[in-house]
Amino acid sequence: GAVVSQHPSRVICKSGTSVKIECRSLDFQATTMFWYRQFPKQSLMLMATSNEGSKATYEQGVEKDKFLINHASLTLSTLTVTSAHPEDSSFYICSATGSNYEQYFGPGTRLTVT
Amino acid sequence: EDQVTQSPEALRLQEGESSSLNCSYTVSGLRGLFWYRQDPGKGPEFLFTLYSAGEEKEKERLKATLTKKESFLHITAPKPEDSATYLCAVQAPGSSYKLIFGSGTRLLVRP
Q: What is the mean pLDDT of residues A20-29?
A: 94
The pLDDT value recorded for residue B35 is 97
Q: CB atoms < 10 A from the CB of B59, how many?
A: 10
Average pLDDT rounded to a whole number, residues A1-18? 94
* Minimum CA–CA partner of B32 in chain A: A102
Contact B34, B55 (CB under 8 A): no
- What is the number of other CB atoms lying within 10 angstroms of the CB of residue B64? 23
Residue A93 reports pLDDT greater than 80? yes
Nearest chain A alpha carbon to B92? A101
Chain B positions touching A110 (Cβ under 8 A) are 41
What distance in Å separates the CA atoms of residue B51 and residue B55, rounded to the nearest whole number? Answer: 7
Cβ(A76)–Cβ(A57) below 8 Å? no
pLDDT at A80 over 90: yes
List chain B residues with pLDDT less than 70: 95
Cβ-Cβ contacts under 8 Å between A and B: the total is 51
Work out whether strand B32-38 and strand B84-91 pair parallel, antiparallel, or are unpaired.
Answer: antiparallel
Please tell me the predicted confidence (pLDDT) of residue B95.
65
Polymer length of chain B: 111
Tell me if A101 and B36 make a contact (CB, 8 A cut-off): no
Of the pLDDT bands very low, low, confident and very high (cuts 50, 70, 90), residue A52 is confident
pLDDT of residue B77: 98
- For residue B78, what are the CA distances in angstroms to A74, B12, B45, B46, B73? 39, 11, 18, 18, 12
pLDDT of B18: 98
Average pLDDT value for residue range A74-81: 94
Residue A44 pLDDT > 80: yes
The two counts, helices (H) then strands (E), for chain A are 0, 11
Q: Is residue A88 helix, strand or coil?
A: helix
Q: Name the closest residue on chain B to residue A59, using Cα atoms.
A: B98
- Region A72-88: mean pLDDT is 94
- Asked whether the predicted pLDDT for residue A100 surpasses 80, the reply is no
Query: What number is the average pLDDT over the span A68-80?
Result: 92
